Structure 1
Amino acid sequence: MKKILLAALLSGFSCLAHAVHYDVMLGTSQGAVAGSQITVDFYGDFDLAGKLPIDSASGHKLFPGYFDDLEGGPRATDDPGFQAFAGTFKYGEEVHFRALGQLNYWSPESQSWGVAGNNANITLYGGIPVDAWLNYMLNPGNATYAAQYQYYANGTVFGGNGVSGPVTALIDGAGSNGSFHSHLDWKVSDAAAAGVYMLTLQVWSPTLENGVQKYLDSDPFHVVFKTAGISQAQFDQAFDQRIAVAVPEPESYALLLLGLAVVGLSARRRKALI
């Protein structure tokens, strides 16, 4: 019996070791100054056999997530997280997410991508605004305050028909050294079919300087989630279908141009002979 349990544990750890995980690393294009754009990059276990996780359809970066991880169980997770290193922002500056578009789904049966069905949704639980939280805590019997609090507590819901609930919510605020590391909660609906789901986010900051939004919004990016009920190989297949073809190296461009020149010269010679 012990051998069977050990084998099962080792099998589980082997699967986890194969899975790729990285957080959303946030930066600023010109530092913590007005007019700088919030940037999005990868931080963590980057191992995709040299492939860039860039979506071929949108050109946006792809971040993997796993609803069947050990921490969250089969329906929830707190990965990917969001991280900004020291000096990225000024103390107290907040960063929020903005939900975009619709929820997409990769079916293990058809092995193709499409729009998620009506029964499938993913919820992202962002921070509750301080005023909504305080009003509710101080006046729990007030129906208006309760509704405002519950609106944010219910989270942002991504579905095949778009986004419901708060379109934007708090990720975190920068600490004294301008950094933060935050993991929000994600949950896939119980009725969602096993497979792979993809949603779209953008990061922005409500920070103002001289009455104007200090930072430009980030480029959108995708988060691609594996659910319980499919294999790592199937998730890899779905992920690979989103990845763009690698950009040729300069040497490849040179060879391509040389080839075109040779073809053009050959065509001119044939025309001259005719």
Structure 2
Amino acid sequence: MNTTDRTPADLLRSALAADAARPLVTFYDDATGERVELSVATLANWVAKTANLLQDELSAEPGDRLALLLPAHWQTAVWLLACSSTGVVAELPGSSADPAAVSATASAADLVVSGPDTLEAARACSGERVALSLRPLGARFPQPPDGFTDYAVEVPGQGDHFTPYSPVDPDAPALVVGGEELTGAQIVERARADAGARGLGPGSRLLSVLPYDTWEGVSAGLFAPLATGGSVVLCRHSDRLDASALTERKKSERVTHTAG
């Protein structure tokens, strides 16, 4: 990857320039049977649309705090990179966090993005609220939650290309995870170090069953593979698989490394 990249959004742009067609995120939900594979180009398109939604429809500005109340999921990866693209700070309390802590994160945030299981906690946010159904193929809610924008309804009409109104500062806060605040530059630096420690390189395929509530989880589940030209097989509800099924998945997905 480009050594001058200093934010996760920079890493995505470099990946797009290098090989837009290669897989970047393959997602499994073993509670629903869903499998989604997103190439670099497809993920980048979702990120651009989401960043336009953030900047133009939700009026988010650099430095705003966004409570990201989502599990490890391909759409969470989209939101993390969209926040990086706009300079919005993504705060991940984690799906397994105490409900009171999740609600406190939402209350202190400028805007909130919630899955179906955290809608009540998300109502503590007095700013814009966005809800994701997390249904297969990014489907909308059968009935939109009261007081929330349905992401699946709003995002398709957004532009396919994104340009921030002002350049994103790589040394500004970008992510809060596990109680630690990181800048965009620190995310990139740590992701590269993690990739080196795991032995990742171009073409590596990392299977992760870790939640997105720690740095290790978001690094393995997105940033480290992105930083090195690799890809991730992100598994949710993998505890429903037996050992032989997980072994078969690693074989069929050509997994070279595992996390969790």
Computing the radius of gyration over CA atoms, which structure comes out larger, 1 or 2?
1
TM-score scaled to structure 2, two decimals?
A: 0.26
Q: Does 1 or 2 have the higher relative contact order (CA < 8 Å, sep 6+)?
A: 1
| Higher strand proportion (structure 1 or 2) | 1
TM-score scaled to structure 1, two decimals?
A: 0.25
